[in-house]
Amino acid sequence: MGIGEITRRSFLAGAVTAGTCAVLGATGCSSPKGGKQDSAASDDDWAQRLNVNIAAVLPGNTKEKVDIAQTKDCDVVVVGAGCSGTNTAVRAAEKGLRVILLEKTETIGGASLRSSGPTAPNSKYEAAAGVKTDTDKIIDTWVADSHWRVDAAAIRQLVTTAGEAVNWMSDNGWNFVYTKMFTKLPDYDTREPLFRAMLKKYVEPKGEVLTSTTAKHLIAGDDGSITGVVAVNGDQGIQINAKAVVIATGGYGGNANMVKTAFNFAGVLAGVPQNVGEGLEMSWKAGAQKPQNFGGQMLHQTLARATDAIQSSFDAFPAKYPMILTYIPHLLNVGSSGARFRSEALVLSPVPAANSSVYQGSFHYVIVSKGIMDVLEKQGLKGLGVTVSPGLPPAYKPNFELGDPWTNIAGVFDKMVETGTGFKGDTAESLAQAAGMDASVFSKQLSDYEGFCTSGYDKQFGKSPEYLKALGSGPYYAIIAEENSLGSWGGLLTNTDYQVLDDSRIPLKGLYAVGNEAGTNLYNDTYVGSGYAMANTITSGYICGAKLGKALS
Ligand SMILES: Cc1cc2nc3c(=O)[nH]c(=O)nc-3n(C[C@H](O)[C@H](O)[C@H](O)COP(=O)(O)OP(=O)(O)OC[C@H]3O[C@@H](n4cnc5c(N)ncnc54)[C@H](O)[C@@H]3O)c2cc1C
């Protein structure tokens, strides 16, 4: 059937234009410079930082209209083969349904292939470690901390079922490891084979897994219920008719324009770049509610803008000097005006560090003085009193000991300034001028901070005295620090059956959502971490697949 044969009424067109334009290079605003906070990073900049050939991972995405070369029928079509989509597909097939799973890349597993692990209260791993989690306490705290603007039933379902869902994956060959922070996923390179083995066992006997296949549009019946999906594989259009469509496309973190619009500026993405919001766009077009709290990003570790700019000039350790210092609580952190905005001790926990930074803008400055540099040059981080290795993302962490001297630190910082990824000034005023801060604000802030260091009492933010290190005289440097996003959070409002809701909060017949995109009811305005993204991804697929099995068998 050709595309023109699908009636206007039954075809919810135009899913991806904005996202595709965004990542394929529409022009945008400039990077932060001279103290101006970004309303946006440039799209060219964004694409460069993603460091991927975007067109190559988006098969067929550049085409808005396709001819339908094949039609397929199934019970459930799942869009996106991250962990949430794969678990949904496996679980629905385990319950006897014929499932087709669509994935735009050639890889199964999405962001879960890069994650550490879920929080899994009362899983068999916790039990074996002698841990008994009080789930009521977690739920009550979570709901209250979100100011009750969340779906307490959905949170309860997640927290009380995550352990069971992890046990189910374990029964399917996944060997998790309990740690105090979370329940670690098996080794990175074993995960995709484990997903594929589950698909082979449960989905493939009756259904299909179609990789390099991008879902573009939903199809609706005359009564508005969702009856399938149109996808593309290269130049070929495929119409898949189904009793239910599950959106598991992971969000819009790879779509700079969408992030900018929803979040005010597009930061640095550490998540999967192919998630450009197609699942959201097609669901909104089908009548799904765009929720009030749309815009949350999974903010995580801090990066120094200098890292990429100077890496070819130095060995791995010196090239990370600026970045390492963004993780050290002993330094002064200020926003674009030159005012301090937090106790720098927050840098010891990635999610609080990221959210406190982003609250005041798209970047902040970490201030270093000659005195601090002299200590680092002679005694390394130990000289500052650092006792714990800074928590850099594994991909950025060089091999070094806390007592290793920071040789050539001045050369590295001068290179940072030369590349425009940091600033220098002999005095507080001249640094402020170079970095675009308000000179009077920064000078007063520096002098107040020096006072706190002398008295041992941080009147402004109560930072522990062990982290109060006076800067002394100049020259001073300002490192530009930015926050990493692991992807977006939310976008579709769902009930506890994972049915997508319309503006009246009534389920859109035939449309379901799981994973990141179904996180709207779990967090108020932003994801706050602690392993519940993976928990939600694992558990939403586990529950949704089973519920579909029950509803459609
Ligand atoms: C580096 C990193 C570390 C992380 N660490 C942790 C952690 O330790 N603990 C934790 O709780 N969380 C962590 N997270 C978050 C967690 O991994 C994610 O929230 C979760 O894996 C998202 O799962 P998902 O299935 O919703 O989406 P994804 O895994 O992103 O899967 C979406 C899939 O949909 C596909 N897709 C997109 N659009 C289409 C389309 N139109 N058609 C077909 N397919 C499409 C994509 O290619 C992708 O495979 C981390 C994330 C990252 C990036």
Tens-place pLDDT, residues 6-19: 332 333 333 222 22
Position 46 scores a pLDDT of: 34
Residues 6+ apart with CB under 8 A from 125: 166, 170, 176, 177, 178, 183
- Ligand 1 in contact with 281 (CB < 6 A)? no
CA-wise closest residue to 69 among 210, 276, 253: 210
- Decide whether any atom of ligand 1 lies within 6 Å of the 79 Cβ: yes
Q: Is 273 in the pocket of ligand 1 (CB under 6 A)?
A: no
Task: Give the pLDDT score at 65.
Answer: 60
Q: What is the 3-state secondary structure (H, E, C) of 210-257?
A: ECCCEEEEEEECCCCCEEEEEEEECCEEEEEEEEEEEECCCCCCCCHH
Ligand 1, atom 30: closest residue by C-alpha: 250
CB of residue 117 inside a 6 A radius of ligand 1: yes
Cα 248 to Cα 199, 267, 417, 478: the distances in Å are 16, 23, 43, 41
What was the pLDDT predicted at 10?
Answer: 35
3-class DSSP assignment, residue 133: coil
Name 76's Cβ contacts closer than 8 Å, sequence gap at least 6: 88, 89, 92, 97, 98, 99, 100, 242, 243, 244, 245, 246, 548, 552
The predicted model scores a pTM of 0.88
Atom of ligand 1 lying closest to residue 185 CA = 8
Angstrom CA distances, 500 to 56, 475, 509, stand at: 31, 57, 8
Residue found under tokens 């067929």: 60
Q: What is the pLDDT of residue 36?
A: 57
Q: What is the largest CA-CA distance in the chain?
A: 78
Residue 45 confidence (pLDDT): 41
At 37 the pLDDT is 60
CB 357 within 8 A of CB 344: no
User: Within the chain, which residues score under 50 in pLDDT?
Assistant: 1-35, 39-63
Is the CB of 485 inside a 6 Å radius of any atom of ligand 1? Answer: no
Residues in Cβ contact with 464 at an 8 Å cutoff, skipping those fewer than 6 apart: 345, 458
User: So what's the pLDDT on residue 52?
Assistant: 32
User: What are the structure tokens assigned to 469, written together?
Assistant: 């290190």
Task: Point out the ligand 1 atom lying closest to the alpha carbon of residue 529.
Answer: 11
pLDDT at 96: 98
User: Whose C-alpha lies nearest to ligand 1, atom 14?
Assistant: 115
The kind and range of the H/E element at 301 are strand 297-304
**Chain center to CA of 369:** 33
Question: Do 355 and 299 touch, CB atoms closer than 8 A?
Answer: yes
What's the distance, CA 131 to chain centroid? 29
What pLDDT is recorded for position 253?
A: 94
CA of 422 from ligand 1 middle (Å) equals 32
- Position 222 scores a pLDDT of 85
- Residue 18 burial (CB count, 10 A): 17
